A and B are shown apart, each in its own frame.
Chain A
Amino acid sequence: MGGPTISVRGVKLRADPAREECFKVVHLYSELWRTVDMSAESQREKLHREYNTEVQGMEIAAQSLAEFPDAPWDLRMEIARQCWDESRHARLYVQRLQEKGGYKGEFPIANHEWTTTCVFETLVARLAIQNRTFESGSMDSMRKAVKVWNDAGDARTAEMTDSILADEVQHVRYANQWINRLGREDPKVVLQVATSMAQLRQMSAALRPQPGDVSVNGVDLVATPHASVRANVEDREHAGFSDSEITAVVKRQEAEEANRFAVTRLERVR
């Protein structure tokens, strides 16, 4: 268990998975491209980023099969299916990238999901972080991405995104089901999940952009707010989140949006 680790801003992370030399692998947001529009270049960057995200999803699932041979067989089957899904998703994104004139290695990449998730040494922690947190967050952003691609006149990428989103729902759902089941069977699991989530929050806080950080394409990462993303309530329901869990996400997102609005107004006053 466990593999080589690296330290980024004092945070211990799992060392990156293998990548071809054509990729520039980085670890900080300031070393990445930050997309703020739907220019042709930004569209390619989005597809390039999603491509690498899907590959990481496959790598995390595969690593769980390799590192946890004693996990319940039915759970391993879910994880094995996820490997195939993420492989197909990655192929879809790279095909679309190439159709738009892009290529592997066109933009820097970060393997944040892998380096964060795989530093945890229990399967339940990895399911809580990768499937239940990162992928459920993706469900929110992908629902928005469907609209963004449609608004940009790219119905094909919009349809592709929605198809991928439908697959992701099952990845979140099985994690929810198994975390609940394992938690009922062994109360220590509940504690493991809570501890890993607290640790994830600390890691995220340390790694997030700092004042003055600028992306490689010149975007001020703190001053430029992210476009707001609303909770994908319908798919969160499909994925087995409880009403109270969904309400908590909605309230948190509303608070973040209100905070962003206040900061933007304050900047204008200054």
Chain B
Amino acid sequence: MGLTVKQRGQNVATFRFVEVRVMEILSAWVPTTPEMEAKLLFGAHIWDTAQAADALGKRTYELRLPLQHSLTPAVGYLQVLDDLAAADGAARRIAAFYDVVLPGLAARYRRYLAQTDALMDAPTVRIIERILETGVRMVREANELRAEMPALKLGETDWLTRLAERERNVAELVVEPEAAAA
């Protein structure tokens, strides 16, 4: 049956929240990461996440929400984002973002594409397809950097595995506004 206009708006606004938050996390990492190559990778990807947020924010307006509107995601996912923000060391930051959060977010975008009507919601579909394509490039660039600089590969993986579990355990990103207000 697909998603209603209201559900589409809620999803898009929630995705926007995540993209803005990720942009801010990458921004905070730029001056605090000593390794120049990692710094430059994060700096370039700030713009990619900003463009994703901007496109989603223009779409919220078309779905009867304010322009550049964001909705806070589920508490569990907020915790994942907080854990991401708190990651220290270039290797851990790169692994957390490019190996866990970005692929996890891509899976959520693909789930949305599977649920929505591709014709009725074509503008959102186009936006998400571009975001997914950009995400593939971002991960590829991170992998190329790690191949070039093995010191940026994460040695211990327990922390990363736990983060990935927490990310997977958040079944639904969107919080119904009524539930959030309760």
Contact = CB atoms under 8 A, between A and B. Distances in A.
Given A73-B54, A73-B57, A76-B50, A58 B68 contact: no
B34 A87 contact: no
B28 A55 contact: no
B24 A87 contact: no
B47 A84 contact: yes
Contact of A58 (B32, B40, B50, B54): B40
Contacts of A76: 50
Interface of A: 17-21, 55, 58-59, 62-63, 65-66, 69, 73, 76-77, 80-81, 83-84, 86-88, 90-91, 94, 104, 114
Contact of B68 (A62, A73, A88, A114): A73
Interface in B111-158: none
B40 A65 contact: no
B44 interface: yes
Nearest 7 pairs of A and B residues by beta carbon = A80-B50, A84-B47, A87-B43, A62-B30, A17-B31, A65-B27, A18-B34
A59 B39 CA distance: 9
B33 A18 contact: yes
A80 B23 contact: yes
A19, A55, A63, A80: which has the most chain B beta carbons within 10 Å? A80
Interface residues of B, number: 27
B31 A62 contact: yes
A21 B151 CA distance: 14
B47 to A, nearest CB: 4
Contacts of A81: 47, 50
Contacts of A69: 24
A66 B26 CA distance: 9
Interface in B33-49: 33-36, 39-44, 46-49
A73 to B, nearest CB: 5
Nearest to A90: B40
